[in-house]
Structure 1
Amino acid sequence: MMPQCRALLGEYPEEFFFKVEMNRPRAWAVRTMMASDLDNLTDSVKVPWVDGNRFLESYFKRVHPFHPFLDRDEVRELYEDTMHKGIGIDNSSALVLAILALGATVSDAADLKPELRTGEAFIQQALKILFASWTFTFSGDVIISQALTLCSLYFTYAVEPLMAWRLIHMASTSIQQLFSRCKNLLSSEPEVQTLTRLSWVCFIIESDILAKFHQPRSGIELLVDRLPFPNYGEIPSPENLYALADISARALLNRIHHALFFTDSLTIYSGQSLDNVSSSRIPILNPDASHLRVCEELSRQLEAWYDSIPDVIKPDLNGNPVGSRQTCLLRLRYWSAKRNIFRAFVIYVTSRKWEGEEVPQAVLEMCEICLHASRMFIVMA
């Protein structure tokens, strides 16, 4: 890129050296290991049409509404084409297997043993294909990213959050490689919109996991900061409105965590404060006047988010926990955010020995808000 180097070496096409490296023969030992796993798949993957159709419809009914990043018509066309040809060892087959695994497992009990999950055989076969493909794909691939995202969703349903994190991390880095080659992140071209929808889904899944587990971040949060929300047309369906509301809620939850519980800018990558890396002691926050102002501002933003939700999908925060599953999710997002905003006050009060000293009334009021939000979250769940 430097003019001085070009004067010595000459002009090379963009990403010339990257492409040379990408096309180099890989380590024979690794290729042999991957090939042996894939060879064992050829005769073992058989899905009867009646089961496949049932699992596909279950996916569309129970999973797709929460994460509508795939086009329904394209999924059906891909499914029918793959089933007619027979499930193979290509990336499209892995995507279909991941969809079937989700559709098969989504109704299983959360505490079911892994070997008894309905979609376990499908997900194992999908992962063998994807691990081999992802290992040797150095410039990103849309289908691999989509399939890895679906596999991550599978493990969220199976209540294995760290496996879900590993897969969504892999999908995210692949997406970022693809976006690094996009000239215009704001383009309305179908390829860019596909990546945009996928990026926001990765952002939500990763953020939900990292809110509870301190794992390294993939960088998807920094990418979506530069992306618009997915474009679902001038009149989005309720399903798409739910997705947009969930994106904005998750972004607000991240803002709350960064404002109140992160003490170093590098925590956006590591998930924890560098000051506490060598210590297992949980810091006791001291909610002073400035902290109170931050909490009040975040609470105002939360109420603004709720007020901005279109009436057709707006949840009743205090009523009976009725409505669609997406409505319940938005309701839980609200009460989770409210609880997190004022959680430091409860920690502060319960961590001190007051010895006759009165707790400030303003602090008690913040504790009451937090405890009410916690109770509502439990009731609504």
Structure 2
Amino acid sequence: MAGVGETTYYRHSQAPEPEFVMCLKAILAACSDAGIDPRDIDGFASFSNDRNDPMALATALGIHELRFSNMQWGGGGGGVAGALANASAAIVGGLADCVVVHRALAQGQFGRFGRGAQVPAVPAEYALALPYGQMSPAQFFAPKVMRFMHEHNVGQEALRAIAMASYHHAQANPRAIMYGRPLTEGKYDESRWIAEPFHLYDCCMENDGAAALVLVSADRARDLRQTPTFVLGAAMGSSYRVPSSPTAEYASPDYASSHFKPVAKRLYAMARVGPQDVDVVQCYENFTGGVLMSLVEHGFFEPDEAMDFLKLENLIAPTGSLPLNTSGGNLAECYMHGLGLQIEAVRQIRGQSTSQVRDVNVSLAVGGPMSPPVSTILYGSEAAL
């Protein structure tokens, strides 16, 4: 991982520029960060139906030759780490030498992700959902988390600690939308319900902006501007028999899951490390309940230990036992479908975070839970190799 770049982040529908222009600016910023000529890019990878066409990007940037183009399937941010895995695989496999992973959102120009479906009739896959008021992502995911919390006696305080950790770290990050707007226990508890167990502050923001990362071979990265960050391993997929329809998923064998159980095992096997080796975690928060289940399924604690582990003091940098979402994450920094969390994972390895953890050698970045196929990735320092 040679370079990272971002635009200014905006509240949804407030971007002053076209989405495509913001995407180009993020890519140029990532190339500048790496010390790479943008014309040397020869591949693009993205996820979740990104609208920024690789041929248009290649033309606008004036690249010499396009050798690789890839889109990772998956709803929302489930594919964010998968896009980085695909870019890495392209380089290792000789399909490309310099691949950019990008994401840009301008929801005022194209529509809001958190809004219920705007359709003239009820599609068959939503026949048992939309007519009964289950229309938005929060409403679809809430029952999964409620089931998990009920089965393992997890209280609301665990979700509150996750939210407060993100907001705590955002106060040190001037890039964060919620910079200067701290969250207290009282403010969390008094906020309105969106879909129980999700209060307002359990739900990700909706933002405009763009982010990008530049990947090259390990040997080339060592000669570039930044301290290189290495992809130790990545995995994507789902748990057993998960239907694509939110309605049909009620019948899945493991309903109360973020779908990382088999995926995390493959991640650790590839990287040859375990959860005990991870120094810092960036976990995609579509909702705090997804973080809860993802941390369990990545092996950091058992489900019945959640109330003891998920306390604010354990989740904040630099002293917590597992610092979490140290830029503010989707809840408090910005919602770029999780690509900002990937950038923060790289910054922690470089020692450049605004909430830096000491002596980081292994950094985990988890893609969007509950949106299969999900994906997850481990970054490491030179020492981790």
**Could you say whether these structures have the same fold, taking a TM-score greater than 0.5 normalized by the shorter chain as the test?**
no
Instruction: Give the structure with the larger helix fraction.
Output: 1
The structure having more radius of gyration, on CA atoms, is 1
Instruction: Give the structure with the larger strand fraction.
Output: 2
TM range, normalised to the smaller chain? under 0.3
Higher relative contact order structure (alpha carbons within 8 Å, sequence separation ≥ 6): 2
TM-score of the aligned structures, taking structure 2 as reference length: 0.21
